[in-house]
Amino acid sequence: MSLKNFLTSKAFLKQIIIAVVITVLLVIAVMKWLNYYTNHDQKIPVPDLTKKTVDKAEKELEALTLNYVILDTVDYRPDFPPYSIVQQDPLPKVNVKENRKIYIKLNAGGYNDIDLPELVQKTKRSAESILKSVGLEVGEITYKPYLAEDVVLEVRQKGKRLSAGDKVKKASKVDLVLGDGKTGYHISDEDRANMP
């Protein structure tokens, strides 16, 4: 039998039809199984977890058959309660399926300690800029007699003198003691008389 005769025979056409029917039935069965396995029509809206404690969020998520994973603790944000949820992914009101993991980030319990930068003998403007860049605020500014005007002579916090490298809470205020620029080199009349 030649190839042409085989391709046009009833036996070959019958085999092609059987193969197409089996393939279609297999595709339909796989699609039905995928819909069942992936919960295709299921939609659970994610609740808003911001500003809630982990315990409250856990109870709320368990009631919806959702899970959570704590990713990280972010720097302290005063507009959120300590140890409360600051961010979540997926966002609130997004539809998910059961057992979906909700990734959350928590607010720290308070500000972290940071090292006080070197400020002595810096200008007032430079010291303010440095303090702002490390997350500190300028508190009270006082002056004392010194040759250079607006130069930092001391750094204090709550009356205690601080040095570079001392630990202070981020976002706290530090007080600066600056030179007033009114002290200068004075020549006495006696010295003036002896000058050439």
What pLDDT band is residue 89 in, cutting at 50, 70 and 90?
A: very high
Q: What pLDDT does residue 5 have?
A: 78
21 pLDDT above the threshold of 90: yes
Neighbours of 117 (CB within 10 A): 15
Report the C-alpha gap between 125 and 129 in whole angstroms.
Answer: 6
Q: Give the gyration radius of the chain's Cα atoms.
A: 37
Q: What pLDDT does residue 54 have?
A: 94
* Type of residue at 75: D
Which tokens in the block code for residue 138? 């300028």
Residue with token string 């039998």: 1
The distance from CA 189 to its chain's CA centroid, rounded to whole angstroms, is 66
Pick from 5-14, 52-61, 128-137, 165-174: least confident: 5-14
CA angle 134, 140, 142 (to 5 degrees): 120
Average pLDDT of the chain is 90
123, 99 contact by CB (below 8 A):
no
pLDDT digit string, tens, across residues 164-176: 999 999 999 999 9
> Among residues 46, 94, 40, which one has the least CA distance to residue 67?
46
Q: What pLDDT does residue 125 have?
A: 96
Q: What pLDDT does residue 184 have?
A: 63
pLDDT digit string, tens, across residues 26-61: 999 999 888 777 767 778 999 999 999 999 999 999
Q: Which of the 8 DSSP states describes residue 171?
A: T
> Among residues 143, 153, 165, which one has the least CA distance to residue 120?
153
Q: What share of the chain has pLDDT > 70, as a percent?
A: 92
